[in-house]
Amino acid sequence: MNSSVTRAQPVGVALPEPEPEEALGLSRLPPELLLMLLSHVPPRTLIRQCRRVCRRWRALVDCQALWLIILARDHPALWPIAQSRLPSARNDANPCILGRFCERRPIGRNLIQNPKGEEGFLKWTVLTSEDGWAEEDEDLKLIPRGCMLTSFQWYHKKQVVDLEEEGLWPELLDSGKLEICISDWRNDQQGTDCLYQLCVQLLDAEKAILDHFSPVPFPILKWINSVSSQVSHVFSNLKKGVRFVSFEQWVWNLELGNEQHGLSLTNSSVIVRLLPS
């Protein structure tokens, strides 16, 4: 008779779970490997979430090494220029300046906010000459989408693009390898005779004018069946020190007493591009 005794598991009693093996946490990875893993995380997630995980991750996200990996991989056309004109080290630059560039991707993107006026005049400053160029305080959201105010006075619609805030660093802006392309579409079908003018200025850090584009004022007459037209310009020889782009639209109503709101200005754009090689 077999002397061995087999112990049966009592009915209804679950077998104990095996002890799990301790997983290799990301915090235990060597810095070089963790850096490579983080380089595959979207830049927005790196800046807004990964920096908050712990001090070690924050230091990696804030260092230039991580963003150099991303820059070389995701911006191959810019890399030959960028690697010789990297931003200077700044103690207050957290996260890294290159991180803001990789997150915002300003090259080739329209830097004008609310360009079609789909949100009224949000992001735009509207001034009127009636009160000595005071900022318009009426409810601009009631004005039809994409339209400028018109009355027997000048109206001035303006937006200033901060190029550094958009992710472009000074050494890159001063490299001589970039151009700034501006354009504006105006809809000439409206209910009053107007005079329209576009004025674009390139400004330095102190808002002094370094360059400008201001074509001759264009008359828009209500009795002419005209179509939308585009005005554009390329600043291809940027002076050193350009840090802002001031984009301004001016309208003068030529009909005394006519206060219609009818001049539609849509698809305004300010685009920074690499100079053709």
**The total number of structural domains that make up the chain:** 2
Which of the pair, 27 or 198, is modelled with greater confidence?
Answer: 198
Q: Which amino acid is at 244?
A: F
Q: Are residues 100 and 134 in the same domain?
A: no
Q: Are residues 255 and 221 in the same domain?
A: yes
Q: Are residues 155 and 202 in the same domain?
A: yes
Q: Are residues 133 and 80 in the same domain?
A: no
Q: What is the pLDDT of residues 157-167, one digit of tens each?
A: 889 999 999 99
Provide the domain limits for residue 72.
29-104
Residue ranges of E strands in the chain: 125-128, 134-135, 147-148, 154-162, 178-187, 194-203, 209-213, 218-220, 229-235, 244-253, 263-274
- Going by C-alpha positions, the residue among 184, 35, 203, 57 that lies closest to residue 117 is 184
Q: What is the pLDDT of residues 114-141, one digit of tens each?
A: 887 776 677 878 776 554 444 544 444 4
Q: Are residues 99 and 149 in the same domain?
A: no
**Tokens in use for 112?**
């004008």
* pTM, full prediction: 0.78
Question: Is the Cβ–Cβ distance between 71 and 99 less than 8 Å?
Answer: no
Read off the DSSP letter of residue 107.
Answer: B
**Does residue 231 belong to any structural domain of this protein?**
yes
Q: Are residues 205 and 257 in the same domain?
A: yes
**pLDDT tier for residue 250 given thresholds of 50, 70 and 90:** confident
CATH number of the domain residue 247 falls in: 2.60.120.260
Q: Which amino acid is at 53?
A: V
Q: Are residues 230 and 190 in the same domain?
A: yes
Q: Are residues 151 and 247 in the same domain?
A: yes
Q: What is the pLDDT of residues 174-206, one digit of tens each?
A: 999 999 999 987 655 556 677 788 899 999 999
CATH number of the domain residue 99 falls in: 1.20.1280.50
Q: Are residues 96 and 132 in the same domain?
A: no
